[in-house]
Copies of this chain bind each other. A is one copy, B any other.
Amino acid sequence: MTYCLAIATKEGMVFCSDSRTNAGPDMLSSYSKMHIFQPAPDRLFTFLTAGNLATTQAIVARLKYDLENPDIINLRNCAKMHEAVRYVSQVCREEHSFAQSATASAGIDTSASVIMGGQIAGGDHGIYMLYSAGNFITDSDQTPFLQIGESKYGKPILDRILTRNTSLEDAARCAIVSMDSTIKSNATVGAPIEVLVYERDTFESNHYIRMEEDDEYLRQIKQSWNESINTAFSNLPKFEWEYRSANQTRS
């Protein structure tokens, strides 16, 4: 499996992905699922991929390949984010259809999902979730994040913390905690964890970090979170019967 998420705030975007792939539980490998494209100085795109690895690799390879062809729409020459998303969703649909037609008789699931985020100068930054079928959704003010893969374990913390006004650094920490909770609870999601922080209107991958399991900052985050959660827990209000038994002890 996979867990990837993207967050869009007023200040910019955060992307976070794990690196575990598996073909059955006995064939685990490690692949980056974060693909950063900066085909011109006025634009930056990030893709997070989940699903069939052959399909997602085909999609990413195709996006690269198309860059060299100025006669078609590609990531270098498209004028607006909406145009870029429509182009990428078309690529997703084609690559998935191709894989599907070749494997139909084998019962193999060749579907893939992609989170795309980016900004082109003159327009806003935005994040999108693209399905195999080629349709896509974006985020909302109420839910300023998108997830693909094993999304349930890490959703509660996103629901509790994230708004459009969250700072980029807090959003990145929230993504890391969400990822850590998922890794702790599900063996098919695993390090290295990649995080990209993008400040709007910079068109640069401002802060990229890649954390192995024993990464010092990751260790600090995990330790701090675990200690705080335990403290938070011990501060929860007591049940009414606990006060009663406390009173009995004193009397």
Does A239 interact with chain B (Cβ within 8 Å)?
Answer: yes
- Give bound CA distance, A154 to B170, whole Å: 22
- Give bound CA distance, A224 to B236, whole Å: 6
Binds B, one of A18-26, A100-108, A171-179: A171-179
A residues contacting the other copy or chain, number (CB 8 A): 44
Does A86 interact with chain B (Cβ within 8 Å)?
Answer: no
- Would you call B217 and A236 a contact (CB within 8 A)? no
- Give bound CA distance, A133 to B234, whole Å: 40
Does A156 interact with chain B (Cβ within 8 Å)?
Answer: yes
- Would you call A220 and B237 a contact (CB within 8 A)? yes
Chain B's closest residue to A167 (CB) is B242
Q: Give min CB distance, A94 to chain B, whole Å.
A: 33
Which A residues fall within an 8 A CB radius of B?
150, 152-157, 159-161, 169-170, 172-174, 177, 181-182, 184-186, 207, 209, 217, 220-221, 224-226, 228-242
Chain B's closest residue to A182 (CB) is B156
Residues of chain B with a CB closer than 8 A to A173's CB: 233, 236, 239
Q: Which of B154, B156, B225, B239 contacts A217 (CB under 8 A)?
A: B239
- Would you call B226 and A228 a contact (CB within 8 A)? no
Residues of chain B with a CB closer than 8 A to A225's CB: 232, 236
Q: Give min CB distance, A193 to chain B, whole Å.
A: 14
Given contacts A152-B153, A153-B152, A170-B233, contact A160 B239 (CB under 8 A): no
Residues of chain B with a CB closer than 8 A to A221's CB: 236-237
- Give bound CA distance, A186 to B155, whole Å: 10
Q: Which of B161, B185, B229, B231 contacts A230 (CB under 8 A)?
A: B161
